[in-house]
Amino acid sequence: MSDPIFDRIQPEPFKIKTVTPIRMMSKEERQEHIRSVHYNVFKLHSDKVFIDLLTDSGTSAMSDAQWGAIMTGDEAYASATSWFRLEETLKEIFDYKYFLPAHQGRGAEKTLFMAMIKPGQTIPNNMHFSPDRITASGGLMANLIIDEGKKLQSDCPFKGDVDVEKLDALISEVGRDNVPFVMVTVTCNNAGGQPVSMENIRAVRAVADKYDLPVILDAARIAENAYFIKELEPGYADKGIVEIIREMTALSDGCVMSAKKDGLVNIGGFVGINDDTLYEHMQSYTLMWEGYMTYGGMAGRDIEALAVGLREVVDENYLAYRIGQVRYLGKCMQDEGVPITTPVGGHGVWIDSQQFCPHIAPEHYPGIAVTTALYEEGGIRACELGNLAFSKRNEETGEVISFPEVDLVRLAIPRRVYTSRHMEYIAAVAGEVYRNREKLIGFKVKRYATIKYRTLFLGEMMPITED
Ligand SMILES: Cc1ncc(COP(=O)(O)O)c(C=O)c1O
């Protein structure tokens, strides 16, 4: 039964019991602070940030039920009851035979990659979230998102889909034995949190079956993806979120999940896998790098919070609010004339930096001009995911070899943390910066920390005027 007023306004489906005060500093203080950290927003002290949109990872607000569960955490080293509670929840939601805990997504990736990737093998994906982690595991990465997914503006509802023709062609070209598995990232973070359709996952499965290869999901935002399927894919309107997640996972052989997103927790992750032998191998990697197989780097209390968080994230009311809030920010930004990528995805709004500042040359990092201006104008911390974060560089000199196809700034929305009023504020600040965009100036890299695995997040920038 629908409630038209509720559906139209989409009020936050929670009341607030505990708050963290946030303080707005003066513009002069903000200008001084960002200058002092060399325009690297990762180094801004968080108490000097008014609205923090750096990431949606590990930044969720937990519910009273999660905080309550924390007190029941069993901190036994081995076979703690907390793990068995989480395992039961995982088995209810995800259609896999075995699960292994990890301290966060990258721990889960390490476990799975060590067990499955041989040096020199190619791993196809719609878009790898962290190509460096594939490279560090000895693999080669291939991003095979559909062409529509690379367009900044589009009407395509499933811009995260894998191009299955390219997938088939790639496997036949490199040879089946040179591909350990096919990966699909749901939703596709680097393409703007864009969802993948069930039809596409089915088509990926068919190609994988043709070559007898496993399919692995990067399931960090699987509940958000399932909501998009329910809303936008014919035949799914009457299905429940858990039913859709089970169908997605049944089409795959395993997953890695950073529970810091759709687990609604601040830390945690896991691997799901069906194959008995792989599970045995992975157990030893978990034990070696994460912790015993029933905690994997998480405290018992974190495991309890995750078990509750996973049940909360599959609630349709929560997901309608979550996706609705992100879309609302997108709409407010568009009303202000700010160039964003469309359709708006699951966990944030992406600004097109080069359309925002056409007067700044791509090699002068328009995205850094935008992140600097958002902080100076309104105390908002956003993240450059473009020419600085994703450029390919010479490992010795740091010289740019190539820039990525798209140059974006991400405003990632933490889950259950900010209200609609905050969304309006963010858009108003972005609108003000956009109206005064000709005043923005470009930047250059002042110091590389290490460039081997894109650790420019540790680096320093300077405005091009300060030679
Ligand atoms: C799609 C995706 N996969 C994996 C990860 C890695 O997760 P973690 O930061 O928990 O290691 C992220 C993190 O943002 C992500 O967005």
φ/ψ bin of 113: left (φ > 0), alpha (ψ from -120 to 50), beta (otherwise): alpha
- What amino acid is encoded at 184 in this protein? V
pLDDT reported for residue 274: 98
Q: Count the residues in the chain.
A: 467
Query: Does position 207 have pLDDT exceeding 70, yes or no?
Result: yes
Instruction: Mark which of 265, 294, 313 sits at the end of a domain.
Output: 313
**Kind plus residue range of the DSSP H or E element containing 463:** strand 460-463
The CATH code of the domain that includes 424 is 3.90.1150.10
Q: Name the band, by pLDDT with cuts 50, 70 and 90, for residue 455.
A: low
**What DSSP state is assigned to residue 229?**
H
CA 105 to ligand 1 centroid distance, Å = 5
Distance, in Å, from the CA atom of 152 to the CA atom of 342, rounded to the nearest integer, reads 6
pLDDT reported for residue 127: 94
Residues in contact with 238: Cβ distance below 8 Å, sequence separation at least 6, in sequence order? none
Strand partners, 447: 460
Residues in contact with 441: Cβ distance below 8 Å, sequence separation at least 6, in sequence order? 360, 369, 463, 464, 465
Distance, in Å, from the CA atom of 418 to the CA atom of 413, rounded to the nearest integer, reads 8
238-250 average pLDDT score: 98
Query: Does position 382 have pLDDT exceeding 70, yes or no?
Result: yes
**What DSSP state is assigned to residue 293?**
T
Same domain, yes or no, for 324 and 303? no
Same domain, yes or no, for 408 and 355? yes
Same domain, yes or no, for 170 and 251? yes
Domain of 336, in residue numbers: 4-56+316-463
Same domain, yes or no, for 84 and 101? yes
What is each CA distance from 261 to 31, 288, 306, 356, in whole angstroms? Answer: 31, 25, 11, 28
**What DSSP state is assigned to residue 411?**
E
**What DSSP state is assigned to residue 452?**
T
Q: Is 338 helix (H, G, I), strand (E, B) or coil?
A: coil
CA 361 to ligand 1 centroid distance, Å = 30
Q: What's the pLDDT tens digit per position in 109-144?
A: 999 999 999 999 999 999 998 888 888 889 999 999
Same domain, yes or no, for 52 and 70? no
Pick the closest to residue 325 from 11, 52, 59, 5 (CA basis): 11
Strand partners, 255: 217, 272
Instruction: Mark which of 247, 282, 313 sits at the end of a domain.
Output: 313
Same domain, yes or no, for 79 and 40? no
The CATH code of the domain that includes 93 is 3.40.640.10
- Pairing outcome for strands 460-463 and 254-258: unpaired
Q: What's the pLDDT tens digit per position in 273-323?
A: 999 999 999 999 999 999 999 999 999 999 999 999 999 999 999 999 999
pLDDT reported for residue 363: 94
Instruction: Mark which of 313, 334, 356 sits at the end of a domain.
Output: 313
Among 57, 134, 255, which is best to mutate for testing ligand 1, by the most ligand atoms less than 8 A from CB? 57
pLDDT reported for residue 133: 86
Same domain, yes or no, for 249 and 111? yes
| Ligand 1 pocket residue status of 437, Cβ below 6 Å | no
Query: Does position 451 have pLDDT exceeding 70, yes or no?
Result: no
Q: Torsion angle, CA of 382/383/384/388, rounded to 10 degrees?
A: 140
Output the residue whose Cα is nearest ligand 1's atom 4: 105
Same domain, yes or no, for 338 and 283? no
- The rounded mean pLDDT for the chain is 95
Residues in contact with 464: Cβ distance below 8 Å, sequence separation at least 6, in sequence order? 364, 441, 442, 443, 444
CA 409 to ligand 1 centroid distance, Å = 17
Q: What is the percentage of the chain residues whose pLDDT exceeds 90?
A: 88
pLDDT reported for residue 456: 66
* Count of domains forming the chain: 2
